[in-house]
Amino acid sequence: MQRVINDPDMLVEDMLPGYLKANERLVHSSAENVRSVVSNFVGEGGPRVGIVTGGGSGHWPAFIGYCGKNMVDAVAVGEIFSSPTVKVFEQCVREADQGKGVAVLFGNYAGDNMNVKMAMRRVRREGIEVSKVVANDDVASAKKEESAKRRGVAGEILMWKCGGAKAAMGGSLEEVIACAQKAIDSTKSVGVGLGPCTIPSNGRPNFAIEPGTMEIGIGHHGEPGIKVEELKDARGIADEMVDIVCGDVPFGEGDEVVVLISGLGATPVMEQFILASRIYDDLAERGISVYRSYVGNYFTSLEMNGITLTLMRVDDELKACVDYPVDTPALVQA
């Protein structure tokens, strides 16, 4: 294992100071807890609903990369692939609270669910109004009739984008929650794994994919997918991903969608564009229009080789939210 690190057990502690120095125009850490990363724009222009998220490190730019203006107000930072603590989530809610309530928007993982629930209970005792939306866009992680069990993956980004925009527009907590819920309900994702990643503290790959094969439906932490099959070319991978995602909602003729294609860490952006071209063609053949698209490393897993596809069906409300300007380390939109 060859890495640019100091102590493999201190990656997050070593990373955060550099991240905060590099992005001091946009974010800072809470004086109460360095693992709570806070937007410099909280309260700018008057009080509004606060937006909080959080999750394990190793997924750059998720989660801290989306903290900034008009998106996420505070992010709870966990260890590599591990949930942030209750105390970190608590402090994030306090930092984001501007007297209008706080929306906690996070992915469907056991640790996050448990710790957010406990944090919400504690801050409510302090008089803070808080609600949550749990992302469950990974169609491969559970059957359609058990969608509440599905994981949250790259679709969380679009949930944060829409929830943050609705808050910036002056929406109430109830309106922000409804918009974020609509966004994630309209969003489906699937991943394809081509190679594992190595957690430095373990020093070995966290799963195995044999040469010449690919795993369909793999999770961001290497969770097993729905099948392993012979490696296809980019056209074949794109066709299979579109079939899986569009077959779940289903997306259909006349729909407009946001497309988000993310590498998992080791997939060159050039290859992502090769895949994207076929995905756009597949959608056009189905009569589905692309309203806006994002291609790049938006939600990774250390150096995992692979790619995810996320589609969000949009209406006028979600279009306005997607188009709303943001300024964050990972996403800038005028």
Could you give the residue numbers annotated as active site? Answer: 59, 221
Strand partners, 207: none
Question: What are 121-124's contacts with CB under 8 Å, separation 24+?
Answer: 122/86, 122/90, 123/90, 123/93, 123/94, 123/97
DSSP state of 148: G
Report the candidate in 311, 320, 313 with the shortest Cα–Cα distance to residue 171: 320
Amino acid occupying residue 6:
N
Cα–Cα–Cα angle for 282, 288, 289, rounded to 5 degrees: 105
DSSP state of 272: H
Cα–Cα–Cα angle for 17, 39, 108, rounded to 5 degrees: 90
Are the beta carbons of 53 and 38 closer than 8 angstroms?
no
State the number of CA atoms in the 13 A half-sphere of 274 facing the CB: 11
Pairing, β 102-107 against β 50-57: parallel
Structure tokens at 198: 């190595």
* CA atoms of 106 and 62, how far apart (whole Å): 11
* CA atoms of 79 and 117, how far apart (whole Å): 19
